[in-house]
Amino acid sequence: MTDARTDAARAAEALRATVESTELLLHTVAGLKPAAVAGPSALPGWTRGHVLTHLARNADSLVNLLDSARTGRDIPQYASAEARDRDIEAGAGRPLDEHLADLRDSHRRFLDAAALLPDAAWSAPVRHRAGYTFPVHELPGKRLAEVEYHHVDLDAGHTPAHWPEAFARREFARLGAQFAGVDGLDAVLLIAEDTGQRVQLGTAAGAGAPELTAEGPVRALTAWLSGRADGDGLQVHRGGEQLADARTALPKLPPMG
């Protein structure tokens, strides 16, 4: 159990991190060549324009949830899944300067909506577009994840190596918990050599540690867990013997949540 003051403090900390990450994103976008917005991103089927439009519309969708927490009304994150997809497709082909202005403006709307929320309201539940509810103090952290992951997806020079350590540590733990005990996923122990964190994925046959172990920096492990890397650079051992190619040794993960 946490109190409203603690929840508000957590939200404020995540908001500060989100501001810093968004400033770096805006710097990257401002440095793109105009033609780059129509080029492919790292996400299949999406151009960089799709990624940028999604980031802007996501910020606006979170304004809806912040307003929901402030007013007590059940305001949906998006009008519908179809409307969300239409807005992304409609905005993807805009010129670079329009994308940049949209990112800045939507970021400001998000911060303004957060500033209106009193401390007591940061414990209020809101509904994610997928249908589950969560306390609104987790929302700034969700926005931070959108910014950091999709900054990498732009394929414009920002890589997992640039992730803030606090973000990588949190996501390593979160995704590790998500994939723990997943039926059909080969068991593997992940060891972050720089932070000392450990998570076990999948289900091991019998007692004891799994035969497969992967070690590396927390950012590299989180990049693999989130689908932003193929495991290249990680050290993978099976039964104590180092394997030559981590990319083929590691199990295929389900999509991240």
CB-based contacts of 240, cutoff 8 Å, min separation 6? none
CATH number of the domain encompassing residue 185: 3.30.1050.20
pLDDT digits (tens, 9 = 90+) for 140-169: 999 999 999 999 999 999 999 999 999 999
**Per-residue CA distances from 161 to 149, 165, 167, 233 (Å):** 12, 9, 11, 12
- Residues 228, 252: contact at Cβ < 8 Å? no
Position 257 scores a pLDDT of 75
Position 65 scores a pLDDT of 98
Contacts 24+ apart (CB under 8 A), 41-45: 41/153, 41/154, 41/155, 42/152, 42/153, 42/154, 42/155, 42/228, 43/153
Which residue has 């733990």 as its token pair?
173
Q: Which residues of the chain have pLDDT under 50?
A: 1, 205-207
Same domain, 199 and 118: no
Same domain, 148 and 192: no
CB-based contacts of 107, cutoff 8 Å, min separation 6? 22, 26, 59
Same domain, 146 and 179: no
pLDDT digits (tens, 9 = 90+) for 26-47: 999 999 999 999 999 999 999 9
Position 19 scores a pLDDT of 98
Position 208 scores a pLDDT of 59
Count of domains forming the chain? 2
Same domain, 62 and 182: no
Range of the domain at 123: 4-158
CATH number of the domain encompassing residue 39: 1.20.120.450
